[in-house]
Amino acid sequence: MSAPDRTAVVAPDRLTLPAEEVRRLGYRVIDAYVDHLTGIREIAPSASAGFDAFQPLVNEPAPEGPADPDAVLDLAVSALSTYMNHSDHPRNFARVPSPSNAMGVLGDMLATAMNAAAMSASGHPGPTALELVVLEWLTAELGLPPETDGVLLSGGSVSSLTAFATARHVMFGEHDASAVVYLSDQTHSSMARGLRVLGFTDDRIRTLPTDDAFRLPIGALTAAVEADRAAGLRPFMVVATAGTTNTGAVDPLLEIADVAAANDLWFHVDGAFGAPAAFTPGGREILAGIERADSVTLDPHKWLFSPYETGVLLVSRPGALDATFAVAPEYLRDTAGDVNFRDRGPQLTRGTRAVKLWMMLKTFGLGATRDAIARGIELAEVAEAALRATPGWEIVTPAQLAVVTFAHESMEAGEIVARATAEGYSAPSSTVLRGRSVVRLCTINPRTSDAEMVESIARLSALAGG
């Protein structure tokens, strides 16, 4: 009998690349990443070409046959470099940037490469242990009780939505049409959207006008709760913001915690953007009261330097997440462990988001992380000082939690931002505060130098006409 012909079975299917080819292409991916890192200051923070230019390059019927993987990779790299805003660019100050970090990126690559999941401690003990320890670290940094439960999610919107579903389940079991939620006119739009998804109608959401510092006013909160109770409604939850997107304002968390306790309200803190400030001594003071929250949203893909998508939800009432989300169908019974992250949110199949966060925090340490967060606060102060030293600018809201807003006497903010984006040096964004259009910088990238910040302001001044 002759030996079987092994060459005929190199690849069991037509979706398998030879190992050496995977290695070669993989190195090309790493090269693309490192080129991005090392060349980032030479490119514009905003996309240098738009959708209309790129779409024709890929808009074709689904290909029936194969293509050269190098050509496919080239096109993908160009989609993600030329045709994309770079939220990790040191001169990107628009909305909330995402400064990212190399260990986090490598962790994410590794997790994807291993197709790692984090559903249950029995099936995925490694990723589950990493997720638990990362959540414990964040719990401690925010000063929340040690029995706090948490879960990693895609980002702030889904984290708060998950918090609201949990709050409702704990408070009522099911939806109560008389339940009312309190938030402010500076609360992020994702909060109202999450409530809408859960069935809260607009007439059950009290959007309280903020005070002069864009903070939720305690007097108005108390009055609204009393008025609703008198009208036979059921005050349910207050959503405070630790670092608003518009101005970086922090709601008076301690006083809100008192109102929540006195009125049996669930106290949710949206710290998607600002909560990491609590890692620094100064920020901890500004965020005092966050430790009393029933639930906190924190987005590591913003000011904790994690790549997208990394969101965190912490719930200080132990067991509340599991009580809300646990399912136990017969086809999962072989895999149940003591900790099942699949029971702490709406996702059953879920990749590990913890490994990228753990690899970063473990490699660099909390000390370096703290300093990087503090640098963001400092950079906004550098920007404010440069603006104050330049004629024509008015500071509309001072530097707070790495956000500063300002206006120019001779040009509308949207026009200044459009010109800056076209010029390609820095990327500010605009927003509207009480009807007034302002330029806004969010300065959370620790790699931004003072010189780059000062140069960015100088260029904005020139674009605005001096």
Ligand X SMILES: Cc1ncc(COP(=O)(O)O)c(C=O)c1O
Enumerate binding residues for ligand X (CB under 6 A): 96, 155-157, 188, 190, 241, 245, 270, 272-273, 299, 311
Q: How is residue 256 written in tokens?
A: 């809100």
For residue 302, the minimal CB distance to ligand X (Å) is 7
Which residue type does 57 have? L
For ligand X, the closer CB: 165 or 386 = 165
Q: Which residue has the tokens 């990362």?
A: 134
For ligand X, the closer CB: 266 or 273 = 273
Which residue type does 385 have? A
For ligand X, the closer CB: 103 or 298 = 298
Q: Specify burial of residue 408 (Cβ count, 10 A radius: 0-12, 13-18, 19+).
A: buried
For residue 34, the minimal CB distance to ligand X (Å) is 27
For ligand X, the closer CB: 405 or 461 = 405
- Give, as one character, the DSSP assignment of residue 397: E
Say which residues have a Cβ less than 8 Å from residue 315's Cβ, sequence separation at least 6.
148, 149, 150, 163, 166, 294, 295, 321
For residue 156, the minimal CB distance to ligand X (Å) is 3
Q: Specify burial of residue 331 (Cβ count, 10 A radius: 0-12, 13-18, 19+).
A: exposed
- Residue 84 in contact with residue 45, Cβ under 8 Å? no
- Give, as one character, the DSSP assignment of residue 308: S
Phi, psi of 288, rounded to the nearest 5 degrees = -55, 130
CB atoms within 10 A of CB 109: 17
For residue 226, the minimal CB distance to ligand X (Å) is 28
Closest CA to 452 of 112, 208, 50, 89: 89
Closest CA to 205 of 228, 230, 172, 222: 228
For ligand X, the closer CB: 193 or 229 = 193
Phi, psi of 105, rounded to the nearest 5 degrees = -65, -45
For residue 340, the minimal CB distance to ligand X (Å) is 24
For ligand X, the closer CB: 99 or 155 = 155
For ligand X, the closer CB: 214 or 273 = 273
For ligand X, the closer CB: 150 or 311 = 311
- Between CA 347 and CA 381 the distance in angstroms is 41
**Chain centroid, CA 457 distance in Å:** 26
**Strand ranges in 69-188 using DSSP code E only, listed in sequence order:** 149-153, 179-184
For residue 96, the minimal CB distance to ligand X (Å) is 4
CB atoms within 10 A of CB 360: 27
Say which residues have a Cβ less than 8 Å from residue 250's Cβ, sequence separation at least 6.
215, 241, 242, 243, 244, 274, 286, 287, 400, 401
For ligand X, the closer CB: 241 or 316 = 241
For residue 190, the minimal CB distance to ligand X (Å) is 4
For residue 135, the minimal CB distance to ligand X (Å) is 17
Q: How is residue 403 written in tokens?
A: 């956000």
- Give, as one character, the DSSP assignment of residue 238: E
For ligand X, the closer CB: 108 or 270 = 270
For residue 30, the minimal CB distance to ligand X (Å) is 27
- Residue 89 in contact with residue 45, Cβ under 8 Å? yes
For residue 19, the minimal CB distance to ligand X (Å) is 37
For ligand X, the closer CB: 339 or 379 = 379
For residue 249, the minimal CB distance to ligand X (Å) is 10
- Give, as one character, the DSSP assignment of residue 287: T
